Amino acid sequence: QSALTQPRSVSESPGQSVTISCTGTSSDVDNYNYVSWYQQHPGKAPKLMIYDVTQRPPGVPDRFSGSKSGNTASLTISGLQAEDEAAYYCCSYAGSYTWVFGGGTKLTVL
Amino acid sequence: QVQLVESGGGVVHLGRSLRLSCAASGFTFRNHGMHWVRQAPGKGLEWVSFIWNDGSDKYYVDSVKGRFTISRDNSKNILYLQMDSLLVEDTAVYYCARDRSVQYSDFWGQGTLVTVSS
């Protein structure tokens, strides 16, 4: 039950694109297509942005997209906007009804 | 609309107990598994526990096994987390979250803060 690995911080200018990686193992990310991504603004509850690796819930802009290759999942945000500045967490099903989160990535929109 | 409202947090001394509640509304509670997820101050999210929709099976992260118990009352639409033998490292905001097909959590409450003092 080790945490997934994410970069601690990323930054990019408005209008640009940024990709956040999430590296796991053969027991979680590589073994299941159940990777989800959550956005969290300071003092707020996490919000689901991507589920099942690539799926967007209703209401999430199509600027947000997800992908996976092997044991690494990625969240890409294109056309960055000021309101995208937040912490982003990946999560993967890890089998036997357990889940594991990444350590979180702080996105700064310059 | 889906609402999850946690309560029961507070300051508690090392080794004592606390019970958290999560009141659910806006959806058919008995049809969904439920999670507890916590976040230590300034830290990331950590999955804590999961319970099946009918309460028949329960799962925990290793660090709380034997100390925490998840349960639910489907007649009252309430999820619980009984926390015993609390440690300083259990200090966190505790969120309840609705499960979707064991694949992800789609709605989260606002959280309740538990502080364990030594």
pLDDT of residue B101: 87
| Per-residue burial over B74-97, b = 16 or more CB atoms within 10 Å of its CB, e = otherwise | eeebbbbbebeebeeebbbbbbbb
Kindly state the tokens that stand for B42. 């300034």
Q: Residue A101: its chain B contacts at CB < 8 A?
A: 37, 44-47
pLDDT of residue A79: 96
CB A95 within 8 A of CB A27: yes
Q: Does A45 touch chain B (CB under 8 A)?
A: yes
Q: Does A47 touch chain B (CB under 8 A)?
A: yes
Whole-angstrom Cα distance, residue A57 to residue A89? 16
Whole-angstrom Cα distance, residue A76 to residue A18? 6
Q: Taking 80 as the threshold, does the pLDDT of residue A1 lie above it?
A: no
pLDDT of residue B102: 86
What does pLDDT average to over chain B? 97
Q: Does B62 touch chain A (CB under 8 A)?
A: yes
Whole-angstrom Cα distance, residue B102 to residue B118? 36
B44, B50, B106: residue with CB nearest A57: B106
Q: A27-64: per-residue pLDDT in tens? A: 999 999 999 999 999 999 999 999 999 999 999 999 99
Kindly state the tokens that stand for B53. 């929709």
Q: B85-110: per-residue pLDDT in tens? A: 999 999 999 999 999 988 899 999 99
For residue A61, the tally of other CB atoms under 10 A from its CB is 13
Whole-angstrom Cα distance, residue A66 to residue A37? 8
